[in-house]
Amino acid sequence: MSAEAADPGAPLRRRSRPRIDLRRLGRVALLGPVSRDRLPDAIGHVAEAHRAHHPDADLTILRRAYVLAESSHRGQMRKSGEPYITHPLAVTLILAELGAETTTLTASLLHDTVEDTEVTLDQVREQFGDEVCYLVDGVTKLEKVDYGAAAEPETFRKMLVATGNDVRVMSIKLADRLHNMRTLGVMRPEKQARIAKVTRDVLIPLAERLGVQALKTELEDLVFAILHPEEYEHTRALIAAAAGPDAPLDTIADAVRGTLRDAGISAEVLIRPRHFVSVHRVRRKRGELRGTDFGRLLVLVTEDADCYAVLGELHTCFTPVISEFKDFIAAPKFNLYQSLHTAVVGPGGAVAEVLIRTHRMHKVAEAGVVALGNPYAQDHAAAPQTEPSDERADPTRPGWLSRLLDWQESATDPDTFWTTLRADLAQDREITVFRTDGGTLGLPAGASCVDAAYAQYGDRAHTSIGARVNGRLATLSTVLSDGDTVQLLLAQDTASGPSPDWLDHARTPAARIAISGWLTDHPDEAKPTPSTMTSADPGGPGPAEPAVPERAAQATAPARTRSGPRATGVVVDGRDAPVRLAGCCTPVPPDELTGFVVRGGAVTVHRRECPAVAAMQEIGRAPVGARWADAGGRESDAGCRVTLVAESFGRPRLLADLTEAIATAEAAIVSATVEPPSEQRVRHTYTLQLPDAAGLPALMRAMREVAGVYDVSRAQRPAPAD
């Protein structure tokens, strides 16, 4: 399960036990079952590996499973020439070396019996129980006779659904594919390439997500050798040339051992060679390889606290490369992986990467979910369950698997499922975002608020109108980062649907399938994007006002600007000239005022904070003092006029709801303008006539309470040149 398995001709690295001899086992298997008082010789390697992890395991059921598998497969031969029984034996040995428990090994011995022999699932259930039967059924392929070209994608769908209930199904499949890849050389090149591509696109990402690095790395090397033979051979030559007794990592490893020994820290320091694909990636990243690039130091300790003690000593006694430090203990990866990563400069200036972890972390890093043993056998009634601080709440049902199972139900077409599955698994990193109710959402890196909406609300997310990310308003297209807090905003109108633009921002299959399905089912009812919103708002106009076009058009002709001191309720200092209120800021009592003389001798009055005031003063225009006519700050006759800007997310009935809120406040719309939309945001500008300026705060509150509106403010646009 390491890099040398991908290259039988390469020098063997140090291993705990020799590789299984398939030809010898084939001869042993042909001898048939043995007496009941001992295990068949053919599974001696399996028993030895299993007892290394589970000393008290009862091997009786393994013997029974082997006897059934051997007798069922007797006479069948693999294309490589060995008896077929050697394949389930090899798969079982792979899992045994990873530490799988007895039930998994039993099912792996039987995993091809229902598919390739006369044994039925009922027989497996009768002899070995429901648990083994479920695992065997989960990895049994669907017949091409029944499914045709859809057999492979539907088999994977069936397998993934089974994995959702028991992750051991996928463990067996991964070990099965690893052994098949090891013996793929007997097949035609085109079939080798097809199997290798499926392994690359589906099985390797699944091994990564389940944390089974030992299987993942060897599968990567085997795929690399088949799909990129020239680059593989070049990498193999580089590794062979770098091998030698005076490797730079040996010197640094000795220095690290001495440092930790002097500090009184008990630790095991190993040199961990990189596998072929890892070396290839480093070469592509850095160009010329250094002597220390062919491996990494692995420091194994007993307790979590010792990991940080080792880190402190290394960073104190060696020069650390700070940019290489990562703490996956405090923040584990989504696939159970925990470790401290750092890099230090050793003697002679050589830089070595260092991994620091406990022995338990190392076991989980290599075997992933397989290292959990049987996660379904806990006695919940025996004692209160305490969740370890360094594990996920439910490692048997990780978030990515739950999401996959959710969206696969909507992908009824096998081609859609197969394409979407590959795309989903190509996203190799996961982030966690927090909901305002204290829950969390697991999403792939690059996910947007659209993805978060469908992950949290399902089909209810069709009515999404925006979000708050870390307390700030954001559009649905906003890309989320790990640790963000997100609050999704939904419209009150449950009949509304998604915009086609959302597909541009959706990364998760669940979101894309749901959006596409709604758009397909409602070809004439898709939520219009802001750029296409017109007066044909689905909700119609508000009850007290006529419909207002939303295309930067005037709803009604602007009223004439009122002039003269009595008309405006404004008095200017030292002048008896016509006075008009500036349309750029539409001052109302009790705004502080400033005036400027314009052409014709009239005085235009602005709010003091209006941008036009600063612009006038910059070009040398002298301000004129202005104030409201009466002490109460109220106009003397016909109310006041004000321009308000409403910022909102586009949705159906938005215009009707806004005009209704305005009408309820007894304000008349003088004119209305809607600017071209930007990122699903709509900017409305209303010039309104109010009976009394005192009603302005209530009007603005009423407009803000309209669903989808996130801000209402007084206009601050530049004034036209006078």
What's the pLDDT band for 396 if we cut at 50, 70, 90? low
Residue 116: active-site member: yes
Beta bridge partners of 480: none
- 389 pLDDT exceeds 50? no
Q: What is the dihedral of CA 666, 671, 675, 679, to 10 degrees?
A: 10
What's the pLDDT band for 122 if we cut at 50, 70, 90? very high
- 378 pLDDT exceeds 60? no
Residue 391: active-site member: no
Per-range mean pLDDT, top range of 216-225, 522-531, 546-555, 677-686: 216-225
pLDDT value at residue 12: 35
What's the pLDDT band for 567 if we cut at 50, 70, 90? very low
Least confident of 91-105, 215-229, 360-374: 360-374
Please give the residue that has the higher pLDDT: either 540 or 488: 488
Tell me the two tokens of residue 624: 């004129």
The CA distance from 607 to 23, in Å, is 93
What's the pLDDT band for 298 if we cut at 50, 70, 90? very high
pLDDT value at residue 104: 93
pLDDT value at residue 91: 94
What's the pLDDT band for 26 if we cut at 50, 70, 90? very low
What's the pLDDT band for 112 if we cut at 50, 70, 90? very high
The catalytically annotated residue of 115, 152, 201, 304 is 115
pLDDT value at residue 648: 83
Q: Percent of the chain scored above 90 by pLDDT?
A: 28
Please give the residue that has the higher pLDDT: either 88 or 4: 88
Mean pLDDT for the stretch of residues 457-468: 86
What's the pLDDT band for 167 if we cut at 50, 70, 90? confident
The catalytically annotated residue of 41, 116, 152, 201 is 116
The alpha helices in 539-679, defined as continuous H runs, are 565-568, 611-618, 654-664
Task: Tell me the one-letter amino acid at 448.
Answer: S
Per-range mean pLDDT, top range of 229-243, 323-337, 369-383, 618-632: 229-243
**CB 514 within 8 Å of CB 459:** yes
Least confident of 304-308, 337-341, 677-681: 677-681
Q: What is the mean pLDDT of the chain?
A: 78
- 266 pLDDT exceeds 90? yes
The alpha helices in 99-246, defined as continuous H runs, are 102-109, 113-116, 121-128, 130-139, 144-147, 151-165, 168-182, 189-198, 204-209, 213-227, 229-242
Task: Give the burial string for 647-686 (b: 16+ CB within 10 Å, else e).
Answer: bbbbbbbbbbbbbbbbbebebbbbbbbbeebeebbbbbbb
The CA distance from 384 to 246, in Å, is 54
- 6 pLDDT exceeds 50? no
What's the pLDDT band for 267 if we cut at 50, 70, 90? very high
Q: What is the pLDDT of residues 640-662, one digit of tens each?
A: 778 888 888 777 777 778 888 88
pLDDT value at residue 430: 75
Least confident of 81-90, 295-304, 652-661, 670-679: 670-679
- 8 pLDDT exceeds 70? no
- 4 pLDDT exceeds 90? no
